[in-house]
């Protein structure tokens, strides 16, 4: 295998083991090379030092845990292999210019300091644009679920599909535009879990005859960045992870408070398609520039 292929496999493995011991000896043993050769090969292929990259990715993962859970800072520090809260705080402040406590309490979530996963080769930014949206009134049904941070992707994919099946189960036809509104917050019952509110919604004129037990929903106006996804429904969650983990840091954007908005434009025969269906989705994130 060529060097790029070796490092590509190693990067994938590292991403799944950031909360495990990753000394150079351990990583070199996994790759099957001496640590000196591995360090040189990693730097040649990626342009980054492997130890600094691992630390930056661990700190980026810990930043997500700080924002999306209520876990004690020490627990997060220990999970990502820092030997004390003091060591973690020093490293975190160096990367993010804020202490972990201030980072957690900040009303906005800046992408400054986030280290995206390395991708070998050219990365193609998804189509995006900045839009200003007025206050928008919808009607919808809100459901919630709780999960651990590591389970978010799997749960979001499953719940999105289930909620839409429930939502449209008795509908005579599929409306031309559907809204999915996503709002995560730390669970009040378990500090290592998230509570996620997901609202399936339509405009009032589209809701006629489609919804029972729906409640009014107001989308707050303001500036959003809108990314466009076209592909299999099974790939949407990976797209969302790329948007947050790579695109937002590359664009230097700050997420303000508010809901993520999914706008779906179903194909006319979507009800008759076997999953995974093809879909087009505009994914909007509230931002402050």
Judged on CB neighbours under 10 Å (0-12, 13-18, 19+), 105 is exposed
| pLDDT tens per residue across all 289 residues of the chain | 588 888 999 999 999 999 998 888 888 888 888 889 999 999 999 999 999 999 999 999 999 999 998 999 999 999 999 999 999 999 999 999 999 999 999 999 999 999 999 988 878 999 999 999 999 999 988 888 888 887 777 777 777 777 677 766 656 677 888 899 998 888 888 888 888 888 989 888 887 756 667 889 999 999 999 999 999 888 898 999 999 999 999 999 999 999 999 999 987 655 555 555 788 999 999 999 8
pTM, full prediction: 0.90
User: Would you say domain 3-106 falls under CATH 1.20.210.10?
Assistant: no
- Map out the domains of the chain as residue ranges: 3-106, 128-288
| Residue of 68, 65, 67, 107 whose CA lies nearest to 82 | 65
Which CATH number, 3.20.20.450, 3.20.80.10, 3.40.50.720, 1.10.357.10, labels domain 128-288? 3.20.80.10
């Amino acid at each position: 295998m060529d060097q790029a292929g070796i490092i590509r496999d190693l990067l994938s493995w590292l991403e799944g083991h950031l909360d495990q011991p990753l000394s150079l000896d351990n990583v070199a043993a996994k790759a099957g090379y001496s640590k000196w050769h591995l360090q040189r090969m990693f730097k040649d292929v990626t342009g980054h030092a492997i130890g600094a990259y691992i630390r930056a990715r661990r700190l980026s993962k810990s930043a997500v845990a700080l924002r999306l859970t209520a876990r004690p800072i020490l627990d997060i520090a220990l999970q990502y292999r820092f030997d004390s809260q003091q060591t973690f705080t020093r490293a975190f402040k160096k990367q993010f210019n804020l202490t972990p406590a201030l980072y957690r309490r900040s009303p906005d979530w800046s992408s400054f300091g986030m280290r995206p996963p390395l991708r070998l080769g050219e990365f193609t930014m998804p189509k995006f644009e900045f839009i200003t949206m007025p206050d928008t009134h919808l009607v919808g049904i809100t459901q919630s679920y709780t999960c651990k941070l590591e389970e978010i992707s799997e749960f979001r994919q499953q719940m999105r599909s289930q909620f839409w099946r429930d939502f449209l189960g008795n509908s005579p036809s599929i409306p031309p535009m559907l809204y999915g509104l996503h709002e995560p917050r730390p669970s009040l019952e378990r500090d290592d879990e998230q509570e996620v509110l997901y609202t399936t919604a339509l405009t009032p004129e589209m809701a006629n005859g489609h919804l029972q037990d729906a409640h009014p929903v107001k989308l707050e106006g303001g500036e959003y960045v809108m990314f466009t996804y076209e592909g299999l429904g099974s790939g949407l969650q990976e797209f969302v992870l790329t948007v947050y983990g790579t695109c937002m840091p590359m664009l230097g954007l700050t997420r303000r408070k508010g809901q993520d908005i999914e706008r779906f434009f179903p194909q006319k025969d979507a009800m008759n398609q076997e999953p995974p269906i093809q879909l087009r989705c505009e994914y909007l994130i509230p931002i402050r520039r």
